[in-house]
Amino acid sequence: MTRLKLATVWLGGCSGCHMSFLDLDEWLIDLAAQVDLVFSPFADIKEYPEGVDVVLVEGAIANQEHLDIIHLIRQRSKTLISFGDCAVTGNVTALRNPLGGAEPTLQLAYIQQADLNQQIPHAPGIIPPLLDRVVPVHYIVPVDIYLPGCPPSAYRIRAALEPLLKGENPHLEGRDLIKFG
């Protein structure tokens, strides 16, 4: 049996979607028997590889690094899943959009609201610049499957992955599987 190459990516999100992935509990053992985890915050792999079968992308596109890697991810992945409400709509990550850009956001967070050490972090090459506007993943690259939820429950994640393991498309329907929040 060919093992499916699975990746998970953490972009502009809180990692709650990845925590929910860990809630798959004992099914993770079944999953591990059927996939190779080729890139993930759970694994120390530095470069997004070629030939990924399925990738779960958590988070919105909020900074330059996200923008760069999402193009690479799309190019190197067969099935891209928008994983969680931040990836699907912008959600919490996009709450800063009404502030009107990166600079007012940084000013508010690091100067106006800071009690101590008011300064905007600046480390070129280490801290990627914020984009002026946070956008969901499908604003930048085509998405194959949307998995809403903040976070999507382990039940939903399994409902999306299990058919893909059999080479089938998941049918995510009904309140249990496609409700936001």
Interface segment toward ligand SF4; rule CB under 6 A; list 25-33, 84-92, 94-102, 169-177: 84-92
Interface segment toward ligand SF4; rule CB under 6 A; list 10-18, 25-33, 71-79, 167-175: 10-18
Q: Of 36 and 172, which has the nearer Cβ to ligand SF4? A: 172
Residue 19 C-beta: closest distance to ligand SF4, Å? 7
Q: Of 19 and 111, which has the nearer Cβ to ligand SF4? A: 19
**Among 5, 91, 137, 159, which residue sits at the site for ligand SF4 (rule: CB under 6 A)?**
91
Q: Which of 150, 159, 163 lies closest to 89, judged by CA?
A: 150
Q: Give the H or E element holding residue 52.
A: strand 52-58
CA 160 to chain CA mean position, Å? 15
Per CB under 6 A, 6 contacts ligand SF4: no
Cβ burial of 155 (10 Å; 0-12, 13-18, 19+) is middle
Per CB under 6 A, 90 contacts ligand SF4: no
Cβ contact 8:41 at 8 Å: yes
